[in-house]
Structure 1
Amino acid sequence: MKDYIVRATAADNQIRAFAATTRNLAEHARSVHNTSPVATAALGRLLTAGAMMGSMMKGTDDLLTLQIKCDGPIKGLTVTADSMANVKGYVYHPEVMLPPSPIGKLDVGGALGTGILSVIKDMGLKEPYVGQTELVSGEIAEDLTYYFAASEQVPSSIALGVLMNKDNTVRQAGGFIIQLMPFAEEELIEKLEKKLNNLPSITTLLEAENTPESILGIVLGDMGLTILDTMETSFYCNCTKERVEKAIASIGRKEMKEMIDDNESIEVNCHFCGTKYHFTVDDLKAISVNY
């Protein structure tokens, strides 16, 4: 099944909701970055959130970046998404291995520790919007819930999950974001809270073969759920050799000259997708002339 996101409203637009299944993109990220199980879970969760939050953006050229810098052994993650839910990302230390958490789960919170979550929205204005909050648990869903409440004043419930197979490939991945609009009635809020408190984990729901539509139906089905649309989401990196050439050129003429004087070819790896770009000394000379 393809990865996709469902966008919906409920309770006469007092609630907006997003739900996604993202197993393929999480597995692609795992294979590209050779991530350990706990790093796969962390990156898969942030990629899922990035895809859904990217789909909230309005403009075709709008870009969203989620960045976590932390003191745990994973040290950080970066995810970028566009408004078409194309998403890419990487973990600073993909090899990190940790014992399970006290409840027997992959210890994402232990891998991240304490740190800062940054949400950067580039909407074509002079300066991008940057919101920052401290990590409250390192489990990512709770951290984003806190971000929405503290930085955007939007009460939200966020669930993100990645379930692994015994061979350490991704078995299930997905999540939801449910948000209350400012005019939401108190009675509705209480009803929603009760529903969410009794909800199984997102991976349990996915493992029971629930789709994003049926997951939203379980939570909001008796609240006038209206599915607005669905959109595919995938791991997509837009790196090209030309973009890498521009990045090399940006390091400055002095550094370029030093690389050329070394008389050795160089290899540049894309952080996001792992693609290797090879440049000979003649390539470097051409870059120094053309840019």
Structure 2
Amino acid sequence: MGYILRGIDETETIKISAAITTDVVEEARRLHNLSKTTSAALGRLLTATAIMGSWQKNERDSITVSLDGNGPAGKIVATCKNDGYVKGYVTNPSADLPIRESDGKIDVSGVVGQGNLTLVMDIGMKKPYTGTVGLVSGEIGDDLAAYFLQSDQVPSAVGLGVLVDTDLSIKAAGGFIIQLMPDATEEEIEKLEKNLAKIKSVTHVIDEYHSAEKLVEILMEGMNYKILEKRDITYKCDCSREKVKDAIVSIGPKEIKEMLEEDKKADVECYFCDEKYHFDEEDLQEILKEAKEINLKKYNVEDNF
């Protein structure tokens, strides 16, 4: 189980969130059988999304961040509700690249490629808020910082890291997001920049200390601050047979009837946890009946399927 700290400086102009997500990313790696490079990519996105999920006000509020790049990983998605549960997936989990010769680091930008970052925020309104920006580097931290500046006009520093061990297990993972409010002074900004420069590698700090408190301490050195909240985060998928059944119902009677005629069954695999759900001919007959009833009530017309 990982955890997140949320804090603020005494002038309330610098907000900081820091997370340790080693266990969270390891569970994602295990479930999806991720490669070294996709572990790093999804792990970074899971960490950032979990942090943003902790900012929401209501338990049912959710954040979903997707990276649609042209790299070998394909689409990378992470989603988190304000309940401490985060989940995600990679279209091509086995995609992998050699360590970059230029800096000796995992080639996250290479596996992500060029494309867009999309954030969807559902806070219970009629329609979720959706924002999209172009990927600036594919390193994910830089891309999120660009999103905050372009979409929210909030200058931010985002540091994310995943350290993969020789057996592909996750040795350390976590990160931070710092955001400046409009009243931040030049002096405060200068202190923050000096502190950020001290962190050459997020994964090095996490591997050495395994502590979000230490991350905050380094980043906020020379400034008075307080921790507002500490909360646990866990990789957990909330899929169920009932939810999958409802999803099949929603596609409509015509499509369900085609399933019956062509396959006499339906097999559905959850993207987020790889759980498999099987519906036989009898199950589909019941689902078809339910879909017809919904269709009739919704449109007040006789069913023709």
TM-score normalised by the chain length of structure 1:
0.97
Q: Does 1:21 align with 2:20?
A: yes
Please give the alpha-carbon distance, in whole angstroms, between the structure 1 residues aligned to 2:289 and 2:153: 50
What percent of counterpart residues are identical?
A: 43
Determine helix, strand or coil for the equivalent of 1:208: helix
Code of the residue aligned with 1:49 in structure 2: it is A
Q: Which has the larger radius of gyration?
A: 2
CA RMSD after TM alignment: 1.1
Determine helix, strand or coil for the equivalent of 1:238: coil
Cα deviations by residue, 1:139-168 (Å, 9 ceiling, x for unpaired):
000100110011101111111000011000
Determine helix, strand or coil for the equivalent of 1:66: strand
Please give the alpha-carbon distance, in whole angstroms, between the structure 1 residues aligned to 2:50 and 2:62: 11
Which residue in 2 is equivalent to 1:139?
Answer: 139
Q: Does 1:48 align with 2:47?
A: yes
Please give the alpha-carbon distance, in whole angstroms, between the structure 1 residues aligned to 2:189 and 2:210: 24
What is the CA-CA distance between 1:268 and the residue it aligns to?
0.5
Which residue in 2 is equivalent to 1:106?
Answer: 106
Q: Does 1:93 align with 2:89?
A: no
Code of the residue aligned with 1:68 in structure 2: it is L
Number of aligned residue pairs: give it: 290
Please give the alpha-carbon distance, in whole angstroms, between the structure 2 residues aligned to 1:170 and 1:231: 21
Which residue in 1 is equivalent to 2:284?
Answer: 284
What is the CA-CA distance between 1:279 and the residue it aligns to?
0.7
Which residue in 1 is equivalent to 2:77?
Answer: 78
What is the CA-CA distance between 1:265 and the residue it aligns to?
2.6
Which residue in 1 is equivalent to 2:31?
Answer: 32
Please give the alpha-carbon distance, in whole angstroms, between the structure 1 residues aligned to 2:255 and 2:249: 9
Cα deviations by residue, 1:257-288 (Å, 9 ceiling, x for unpaired):
11112353321100011111111110011111
Which residue in 2 is equivalent to 1:64?
Answer: 63
Please give the alpha-carbon distance, in whole angstroms, between the structure 2 residues aligned to 1:25 and 1:208: 18
Q: Runs of 4 or more off by more than 3 Å in structure 1? A: none
Cα deviations by residue, 1:207-259 (Å, 9 ceiling, x for unpaired):
11241011101110320021112000011111111110011112221211111
What is the CA-CA distance between 1:78 and the residue it aligns to?
1.0
Kindly indicate whether the alpha-carbon contact (under 8 Å) linking 1:156 and 1:177 is maintained by their aligned counterparts in 2: yes
Cα deviations by residue, 1:56-83 (Å, 9 ceiling, x for unpaired):
1112221111011111111211111111
Please give the alpha-carbon distance, in whole angstroms, between the structure 1 residues aligned to 2:290 and 2:210: 54
Please give the alpha-carbon distance, in whole angstroms, between the structure 1 residues aligned to 2:34 and 2:224: 41
Which residue in 1 is equivalent to 2:203?
Answer: 203
Structure 2 residue runs without a partner (length 5+): 292-305
Matches within 5 A, 1:234-253: 234-253=234-253
What is the CA-CA distance between 1:35 and the residue it aligns to?
0.8
Determine helix, strand or coil for the equivalent of 2:209: coil
What is the CA-CA distance between 1:103 and the residue it aligns to?
1.1
What is the CA-CA distance between 1:186 and the residue it aligns to?
1.3
Determine helix, strand or coil for the equivalent of 2:254: helix
What is the CA-CA distance between 1:133 and the residue it aligns to?
0.8
Please give the alpha-carbon distance, in whole angstroms, between the structure 1 residues aligned to 2:208 and 2:200: 11
Determine helix, strand or coil for the equivalent of 2:264: coil
Please give the alpha-carbon distance, in whole angstroms, between the structure 2 residues aligned to 1:263 and 1:198: 60
Please give the alpha-carbon distance, in whole angstroms, between the structure 2 residues aligned to 1:255 and 1:104: 50
What is the CA-CA distance between 1:104 and the residue it aligns to?
1.3
Cα deviations by residue, 1:166-198 (Å, 9 ceiling, x for unpaired):
000110000001111111111111111121122
Please give the alpha-carbon distance, in whole angstroms, between the structure 1 residues aligned to 2:255 and 2:231: 44
Code of the residue aligned with 1:107 in structure 2: it is D
Code of the residue aligned with 1:83 in structure 2: it is N
Which residue in 1 is equivalent to 2:299?
Answer: none
What is the CA-CA distance between 1:90 and the residue it aligns to?
0.2
Please give the alpha-carbon distance, in whole angstroms, between the structure 2 residues aligned to 1:125 and 1:250: 21
Kindly indicate whether the alpha-carbon contact (under 8 Å) linking 2:20 and 2:210 is maintained by their aligned counterparts in 1: no
What is the CA-CA distance between 1:132 and the residue it aligns to?
1.0
Kindly indicate whether the alpha-carbon contact (under 8 Å) linking 2:119 and 2:130 is maintained by their aligned counterparts in 1: yes
